[in-house]
A and B are shown apart, each in its own frame.
Chain A
Amino acid sequence: MATFTLVDCLVIVNSVTLSDHAFGLDVGGDYEEVEATPFGSTAKLLRKGLPTAQIEIKFYQDYAAGSVYATCLSLFQTTTPFQVEVRPTSAGRAPTNPGHVIAQALLFSFHPLSGDIGGMSVYTATFKNAGNAGMTFPTA
C-alpha cells in the first residue's frame, strides 16, 4: 500500500486556485450522535443523525487583488453558497486522487489578520457545508 506526504495539494475556493498560498488542510465531517436508548437497555444505543462537513485551510495571507484576502472577504460578506474543493495532489480527479468537495459551502467567520512579530501572517479559513449534498468525493 502506497503512502504519501502532503506536498502538492490542490485548493480551489469558488473556482479560484489558492494552492500556492495554502500550507495546511483538515477535511472532514461528523454525524450527530442521536440518543435512542430505551428503558431496559444494558448499553447506550446511538443512531446517526444529520452529518456536518467542513474543510479547514491554512493560508499564508496575501492582500493582492484576487488572492487570499480578497477572495475570502467577498465570500464572508455574502450569503451565496460557493464550491470548495481540495485534492491530495494537483493532478486531475481520479480514484487515487479524489476530490473532496463541498458544493455549497459558506464562510461563517473571518479573522484575516493574526500572528506575532516577525512571523508569517497566516489566515485559517473554515468552510462549512450549507447544502443537502454535504461533502462528496468525486473521482472523475
Chain B
Amino acid sequence: MTNKYRNLLPLLIHTEDGAYGQGEIFEKEFTEDEERVNVESGLLEIIPRRYKVVGESVVHGAAPGQTFEAGLLLGNEAQLIASGNIQRVGGPPPELDPEPEPVKPKPTKKAAAKRSAKPKE
C-alpha cells in the first residue's frame, strides 16, 4: 500500500522517481515504521484519501455506509481494513494541490482597442 505525502520542511526529499522540495507532493511506499517516524518528526504530512465505512461501527465520525476523508497512517489503516471497518474508495489517492495553471490576464477594453488600432505590418 502506498500513500501520498507532502514535504513539510525546507529539505529536499529524494525518492526513486525524483526529488521533492517543501510543499511538494509525492507518492512512495514506506514501511509502517518509516512512515510513522517521518510523520511524527514533522517531515511529512499524509495527503488525506477517501474511505467508506463498511462495518457496523462509526469510524472517524462517519456512520456505516458513509464515506470520510482522512490521512491515516498505513499501520492504522491496515488495522481498520483488517477489522472490516473501512475500505479505500476509488483507485489512486486524490490529487490535491496541483500546481495551479497561471492565469492569463484578460485584455481590458482599452488594450483591445489599442491592439486593433495598431497598423498591420
Contact of B116 with A by CB under 8 A: no
Residues B78 and A65 in contact, CB atoms below 8 Å apart: no
B86, closest chain A residue (CB):
A66
Chain A facing B: main interface SS: loop
Interface residues of A in 12-59 (CB under 8 A from B): 14-18
Residues B80 and A15 in contact, CB atoms below 8 Å apart: yes
Chain A: number of interface residues, binned into ranges? 20 to 34
A89 to B80 Cα, complex, angstroms = 24
With a CB–CB cut-off of 8 A, which chain B residues contact A70? 55, 83-85
- Among candidates A14, A64, A74, A77, residue contacting B56 with C-beta atoms closer than 8 Å: A64
With a CB–CB cut-off of 8 A, which chain B residues contact A102? none
A17/B58 contact (C-beta < 8 A), A78-B75, A80-B75, A82-B76 known: yes
Interface residues of A (CB under 8 A from B): 14-18, 62, 64-67, 70-71, 73-75, 77-78, 80-82
Please list 22 pairs of residues, one from A and one from B, whose beta carbons are closer than 8 Å in the complex, sorted by A's number. Answer: A15-B76, A16-B57, A16-B58, A16-B85, A66-B55, A66-B56, A66-B57, A66-B59, A66-B86, A70-B84, A70-B85, A71-B83, A74-B82, A74-B83, A75-B79, A75-B83, A78-B78, A78-B79, A78-B82, A80-B75, A80-B76, A81-B75
